[in-house]
């Protein structure tokens, strides 16, 4: 019952409450990012959702679009703005995804949505991470985030799919809160399947 009904109800209610409570912070960030990114506040990207259905992921734009003499984007580390670095350090860049949750693309808790290009590289077990809505935070994020191997992250994602419950979601929310306060596991993400998984 929780998986198929109450989880969605809680997603909508908590996301709406979160947006209302955090609205002053959201407004300040929009203004600062508008200034630092020449008017580009948000970053949109196609990601696979539940059952691999595409949706537009929304994040605050933490990097500028500076290029080299060949017109190619500079490395990520050279494009992160000061405001963007602060947003990432506090995971504030993820806050716009509350709107993804309200419209039903995402859940507050679930496997993080990666890029479509990685789907053909998943094995059959890893693909099971798409049996539920992707989340803003998840079991893998509170168990290492960017500091564990990708194969381990996928194992944790599948564990969540198999053990989804109200108590597990409550535990993940609490651990996420603690990790954000401690700024644990924050940094530039490493791509899966690059030899470091």
Domain boundaries, the chain: 2-182
The H or E element that residue 42 is part of is: strand 42-48
Q: What is the predicted pLDDT for the residue at 95?
A: 96
Q: What is the predicted pLDDT for the residue at 106?
A: 98
Query: Could you tell me what percent of the chain has a pLDDT over 70?
Result: 91
Q: What is the predicted pLDDT for the residue at 190?
A: 55
Q: What is the predicted pLDDT for the residue at 43?
A: 94
d(CA 150, CA 126): 10
Q: What is the DSSP letter of 80?
A: B
Q: Which residues contact 176 (CB under 8 A, 6 or more apart)?
A: 137, 141, 142
Q: What is the predicted pLDDT for the residue at 148?
A: 78
How many CB atoms are located within 10 Å of the residue 183 CB? Answer: 12
d(CA 140, CA 127): 15
Q: 137 pairs with which residues across the strands?
A: 109
d(CA 29, CA 118): 31
Closest CA to 126 of 52, 53, 58, 186: 52
Written as tens digits, the pLDDT of the chain (197 aa) is: 899 999 999 999 999 999 999 999 999 999 999 998 889 999 999 999 999 999 999 999 999 888 888 888 888 888 899 999 999 888 899 999 999 999 999 999 999 999 999 999 999 999 999 999 999 999 999 997 666 788 899 999 999 999 999 999 999 999 998 888 876 655 445 567 654 44
Q: What is the predicted pLDDT for the residue at 187?
A: 47
């Amino acid at each position: 019952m929780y998986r198929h009904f109450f989880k969605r109800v809680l997603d909508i209610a908590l996301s709406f409450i979160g947006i209302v409570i955090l609205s002053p912070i959201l407004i300040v960030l929009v203004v600062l990012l508008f200034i630092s990114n020449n008017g580009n506040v948000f970053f949109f990207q196609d990601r696979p959702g539940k059952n691999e259905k595409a949706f537009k992921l929304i994040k605050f734009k933490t990097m500028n679009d500076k290029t080299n003499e060949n017109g190619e984007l500079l490395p990520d580390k050279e494009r992160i703005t000061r405001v963007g670095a602060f947003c990432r350090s506090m995971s504030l860049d993820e806050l716009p995804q509350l709107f993804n949750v309200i419209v039903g693309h995402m859940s507050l808790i679930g496997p993080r949505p990666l890029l479509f290009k990685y789907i053909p590289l998943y094995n059959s077990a890893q693909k099971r991470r798409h049996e539920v809505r992707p989340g803003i935070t998840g079991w893998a994020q509170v168990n290492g985030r960017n500091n564990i191997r990708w194969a381990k992250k996928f194992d944790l994602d599948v564990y969540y799919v198999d053990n989804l419950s109200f108590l597990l979601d409550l535990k993940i929310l609490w651990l996420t809160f603690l990790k954000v306060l401690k700024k644990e596991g924050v940094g530039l993400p490493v791509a899966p399947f690059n030899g470091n998984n």
